[in-house]
């Protein structure tokens, strides 16, 4: 991805390097089992603390002190990607929605932080909080995506940022609020099914961003799209459950299968149109 030397966003709230109130969590899961559970938390966006009860110990604590040069590079990269999303969605909203786009704040943190939607740690992963209109990312997630999930590359990381910004786009369009209201009144299975449609739409919207960013800024290099599609596949619910040693259970899916996530990203990239991302009326996901 071509990003160096380009404009970064000022809508970054950098909380890295702050000393956090890390907490100790006892756990009866160790070794690969612990890693698998944490990965489920990373990618499902849930706190897996309840699964780490029993014996033994697992410590989560935010690192303190100045950020490293590598971490500064990560922050600069995220800032450039965020700036691209701001310009793309400003123009797309003007052309396709007829309204002004209000960009989100992106919070960078290390280890643990807090939000109106709850605490964030290494067991939650990137998420968007509609209450404060902020996206939260621990850049260590990019290393996890690469080394543990086999989804490396800078455009895979850009896809993660674009996906969280896409949730903000949904919020701006009024989609996220409506979906969450319906979920709150639904059974667990129905709520999960709605969540899948929300997440697949975000993948599709991330695809729109990739298409428009390429047309405006020429960001793509050879293999970049494959990196994003591979990342989408690696964080499909079915793949994650198999990686955790479980038989995939569709009624528990909250983000969609690997095939669905990759296909909806491609749909956004190929069409560039918000209506094409209407997962809620789609008969086939």
Per residue in 119-132, pLDDT (tens digit) is 877 667 899 999 99
Task: Please compute the mean of the pLDDT values over residues 50-73 and round it to a whole number.
Answer: 50
- Alpha-carbon gap, residue 192 to 7, rounded angstroms: 38
pLDDT of 50 higher than 80: no
Question: Would you say 57 and 27 are in contact if contact means Cβ atoms under 8 Å apart?
Answer: yes
Q: Which of 112-126, 174-188, 258-272 has the lowest mean pLDDT?
A: 112-126
pLDDT of 150 higher than 60: yes
> Please, what is the angle between helix 154-172 and helix 69-92, to 10°?
40
Tokens coding 155: 């455009």
User: Which pLDDT score, from 0 to 100, does residue 111 have?
Assistant: 84
Tokens coding 263: 């296909």
- Alpha-carbon gap, residue 165 to 200, rounded angstroms: 13
Tokens coding 270: 């190929």
- Alpha-carbon gap, residue 75 to 15, rounded angstroms: 11
User: Which pLDDT score, from 0 to 100, does residue 267 have?
Assistant: 97
> Tokens 């612990």 — which residue?
34
Cβ count near 70 (within 10 Å): 10
For residue 246, which phi and psi values (nearest 5 degrees)? Answer: -115, 155
All structural domains of the chain with their residue ranges = 12-16+67-277
Q: What is the largest CA-CA distance in the chain?
A: 57
Q: Which of 27-36, 83-92, 173-182, 254-263 has the lowest mean pLDDT?
A: 27-36
């Amino acid at each position: 991805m071509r990003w160096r030397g380009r404009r970064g966003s000022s809508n970054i709230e950098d909380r890295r390097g702050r000393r956090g109130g890390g907490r100790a969590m006892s756990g009866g899961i160790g070794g690969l089992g612990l890693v698998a559970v944490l990965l489920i938390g990373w990618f499902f966006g849930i706190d897996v603390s309840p699964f780490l009860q029993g014996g033994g110990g697992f410590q989560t604590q935010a690192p303190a002190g100045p950020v490293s040069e590598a971490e500064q590079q990560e922050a600069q990269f995220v800032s450039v990607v965020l700036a691209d999303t701001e310009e793309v969605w400003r123009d797309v909203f003007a052309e396709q929605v007829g309204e002004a786009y209000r960009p989100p704040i992106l919070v960078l943190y290390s280890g643990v932080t807090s939000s109106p939607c709850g605490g964030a740690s290494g067991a939650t992963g990137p998420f968007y909080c509609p209450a404060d209109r902020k996206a939260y990312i621990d850049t260590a997630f990019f290393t996890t995506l690469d080394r543990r999930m086999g989804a490396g590359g800078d455009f895979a990381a850009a896809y993660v940022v674009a996906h969280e910004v896409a949730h903000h786009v949904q919020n701006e369009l009024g989609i996220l609020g409506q979906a969450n209201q319906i979920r709150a009144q639904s059974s667990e299975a129905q709520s999960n099914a709605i969540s899948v449609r929300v997440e697949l739409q975000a993948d599709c919207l991330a695809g729109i961003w990739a298409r428009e960013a390429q047309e405006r800024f020429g960001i793509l290099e050879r293999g970049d799209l494959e990196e994003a599609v591979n990342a989408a596949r690696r964080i499909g619910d079915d793949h994650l459950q198999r990686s955790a040693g479980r038989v995939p259970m569709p009624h528990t899916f909250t983000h969609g299968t690997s095939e669905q996530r990759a296909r909806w990203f491609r749909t956004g990239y190929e069409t560039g149109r918000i209506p094409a991302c209407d997962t809620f009326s789609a008969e086939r996901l």
